[in-house]
Amino acid sequence: MADFFPPTSIAKRIERLPLARRFAASLPVMAVLTGVLLRLWRSYTLTHGSADSWAWIGGTFLVGAGFLCLMCALHLANFTLRHWFWRAPLFAIAESATEIAMSLALTTVNLEPLGAEMAAMSDWIPTATRILAWRLGGLLIFSLVLGVVVWVVRRLLLASEDRTRTISAVHRASAGTQRVND
């Protein structure tokens, strides 16, 4: 009976992730933060930039697209590839919904630029459709390419470390034919 009731109890210490990692692992936090910052970035760059400079337009577009992909990658990096299948589309939808809501808020207070002029409420639905299509398509393509790159690099690293048994175990597990002894 002494084995079941030790004289002293040892409390397990639960380690919490650092704050930045907890934010990165949270889909709603990352998607909302990304959507708000991207819409504000777009609004600022279109109202304060040089509209006739292709370098300015291209540069601001690349910065925005890079930020979107970076935030998606930071979120997905906390999970296995198996979870990316549903997390990437959900991230894209949540980010798009946030950006659409920000667009509506900015349009309401007449701060949403649409080309050289401010957007009206009649422009909101086509803008929302465009946001959803581009974000969903772009993030799905990015996530697919990133997933393939991660999968290939992991395989190459395991092969370079001469861990072929691990490679075959991973292959069997992903194919659903894992033996009981492994």
Model confidence over 143-162: pLDDT tens digits? 999 999 999 998 888 777 77
Residue 45 lies in a domain: yes
What per-residue confidence (pLDDT) applies to 19?
A: 86
Is residue 71, in this structure, part of any structural domain at all? yes
What is the tally of structural domains in the chain? Answer: 1
106 torsion bin: left (phi>0), alpha (psi -120 to 50), beta (else): alpha
In a domain, 168, yes or no: no
Residue 169, in any domain of the structure: no
Q: Which residues contact 37 (CB under 8 A, 6 or more apart)?
A: 67
pTM of the entire predicted model = 0.78
Q: If you ran DSSP here, which 8-state letter would residue 178 be given?
A: -
Residue 177 lies in a domain: no
* Residue 117 structural domain: 20-137
Residue 118's SS3 state is strand
